[in-house]
Amino acid sequence: MKTPDTADGSFKLPAEVVEICDLAKRIVEKELMPLEPEFLPHPGHAFGIKETTNLRKVFGEDVTQRLIDISKDTGLWYLMVPEEHGGSGLSMLTQVAILEQFNYTAVPFPFANVANILYQCEGDQIDRFLKPVIEGEMTTCFAQTEPNAGSDPGGMMQTSAVKDGDEWVINGTKMWISGAAESDMIMVQVVTDAEKRQRGGITMFMVTRDNPGMTVEEPGIKTWLGPHASQYVVNFDNCRVPESDILGGVGNGFRLGQKWLTIHDRLLRGPFALGKMRRALDMSIAWSKQRVTFGKPISERQAIQWQLVDMYIDLEALQALTYQMAARADSGEDIRAEAGMVKLTSMIWGARTLDKAIQIHGAMGESLELPLTLFYRYLRHGQIGGGANEIQRMQIARKLLRD
């Protein structure tokens, strides 16, 4: 397992960042990977839910709390939290490098995985919503997609809210909402001005699960991502939400949604894929050296060597692209299209890397004792979830033609 010390060849990660990456690598090797034999075949874990929720479903409270203690004692719990909210204020490049290490294993590492738009909380919202999420006392999910508004949420969104005194009344349906049943609060986008829509007519509301007007359909939508559903339909039936629970002000919801998608669902797909790709390559190299057919290891066969080379090229290219875009985000640049590049390439290159790894392992590659098929499903799903490949290409083309 290699700790990255370079990005695109033009700069090195600072020594202190490499040191944190080494710490993350040690935790993965000593604490998380030994748990994989129990985690992988367990029916309780699911895609798209919080790390602590996944851990509790599989291992219970003792193991989960031990990992939480490690996370907090090392300071890694706050790795994505800004300084003004008690975090270490790490750069996006540093965060990406650390997350790459943790994505080497299927077992999740618990940390304060806070949606970046929650830092828009103001006044008592900070104590009611932001701080509990940072400390792991409350979990959240993001609701934008609807049955007929997936790739074009701004133009097709139907869920709406109407002002009634000092409250807003929400009606409509959201679909394919990851982790809705496990979350304490849903950050939901709704239309508040049908004429303006994405240009000032969509608002972000924070709706808690105890609101009687909101229901999550269970057992959820079954998909190939795992035996435990994590995608849900969420219904709003005269759901009353106070004005004080609007995030970022009336009409700013679409902008906030794009800010969330740019970082959490696009740029951070880079390290999500990189860790899995590096694990697949390491496993494939080791397997090819020990697997003997017709009198010699398969590592001596050109057919295998070329597949390993292709996996390595995809991995190095994606790391360079991801690190560069993270550095550009740190400089304050608008990287919406560039984050789309990271999402597009990480999911395509990641899935084909895992496909090669499974092929190299043969029948063993299909075994649930190994993480390869799980990694493949997660990466192949990413070519649809969070904005399909075609949408990323449209946004990138729009920037090219505009520029």
Is pLDDT at 251 greater than 60 in this prediction?
Answer: yes
8 pLDDT band, cuts 50/70/90, is very low
DSSP class of residue 177 equals E
9 pLDDT band, cuts 50/70/90, is very low
pLDDT, averaged across the chain:
94
pLDDT of residue 226: 80
Q: Among 334, 346, 329, which Cα is nearest to 385's?
A: 346
1 pLDDT band, cuts 50/70/90, is low
Q: What percent of the chain has pLDDT over 90?
A: 89
Is pLDDT at 124 greater than 50 in this prediction?
Answer: yes
Instruction: List, for residues 264-323, the tens digit of each pLDDT value.
Output: 999 999 999 999 999 999 999 999 999 999 999 999 999 999 999 999 999 999 999 999
Place of tokens 């508004």: 149
DSSP state letters, 54-110: HHHHHHHHHHHHHHHHHHHHHTGGGTTS-GGGTS----HHHHHHHHHHHTTSSSPPP
11 pLDDT band, cuts 50/70/90, is low
7 pLDDT band, cuts 50/70/90, is very low
Distances (CA, A) of 82 to 91, 134, 261: 9, 11, 19
| Domain 15-113 CATH assignment equals 1.10.540.10 | yes
230 pLDDT band, cuts 50/70/90, is confident
Sign of CA dihedral 221, 202, 184, 377: positive
| Domain 140-252 CATH assignment equals 1.10.1200.30 | no
pLDDT of residue 254: 95
CA–CA distance, 213 with 230 (Å, rounded to integer): 21
- The domain ranges of the chain are 15-113, 140-252, 268-402
pTM: 0.94
Q: Among 185, 192, 187, 239, which Cα is nearest to 212's?
A: 239
Query: Is 343 in a helix, a strand, or coil?
Result: helix
* Gyration radius of the chain's alpha carbons: 21
pLDDT of residue 129: 97
CA–CA distance, 310 with 273 (Å, rounded to integer): 15
Selected from 1.20.140.10, 3.40.50.620, 1.10.10.60, 3.40.50.300, the CATH number assigned to the domain covering 268-402 reads 1.20.140.10
pLDDT of residue 149: 81
Is pLDDT at 6 greater than 70 in this prediction?
Answer: no
